[in-house]
Structure 1
């Protein structure tokens, strides 16, 4: 599989909140929040379990962004 440029520090992604328009904070890979051990699991294995069919098939990495202003969050798919 590919290499996520955000996970590996090659790129910084910014997102705007769909609810209030504020800049959202990057919280890391979404899969790291599933349970206590998910940050230590192989990324390709987590992609088979995360419910996003495109991440494994199309080489995308789901990242979580949170809005400090209104509290909403969203997942942004990053192309590997």
Structure 2
């Protein structure tokens, strides 16, 4: 079983926005934004449905990073 170091508070990732240069903020797992119940669903089941081939192997966790200045969103795959 793999765990995401970001979801579990073991590590932080700092990203610079490619549009405006400001620091982006981790908004959480991408899967948590699908619908009202997705944050409560089994993580591995949600990875099978997210449409990303990188997550199907169970080795990467997609996180949504947002720039608070220009509102640009970017999905970053975190190695578990």
Length-normalised TM-score, structure 2: 0.94
Give unmatched runs, 5+ long, in structure 2: none
Q: By how many angstroms is 1:19 displaced?
A: 0.9
Q: By how many angstroms is 1:13 displaced?
A: 1.0
Length-normalised TM-score, structure 1: 0.94
Please identify, of 11-20 and 24-33, the stretch whose mean Cα deviation from structure 2 is larger. Answer: 11-20
Runs of 4+ in 1 over 3 A off after TM superposition: none
* Alpha-carbon distance between aligned partners in 2 of 1:63 and 1:7, rounded to the nearest angstrom: 9
* Alpha-carbon distance between aligned partners in 2 of 1:15 and 1:46, rounded to the nearest angstrom: 25
* Alpha-carbon distance between aligned partners in 1 of 2:69 and 2:57, rounded to the nearest angstrom: 34
Equivalence map 1:3-14=2 (5 Å): 3-14=3-14
Equivalence map 1:58-77=2 (5 Å): 59-77=59-77
Give unmatched runs, 5+ long, in structure 1: none
Q: Which residue does 2:18 correspond to in 1?
A: 18
Q: Which residue does 2:56 correspond to in 1?
A: 56
CA RMSD of aligned residues (A): 1.0
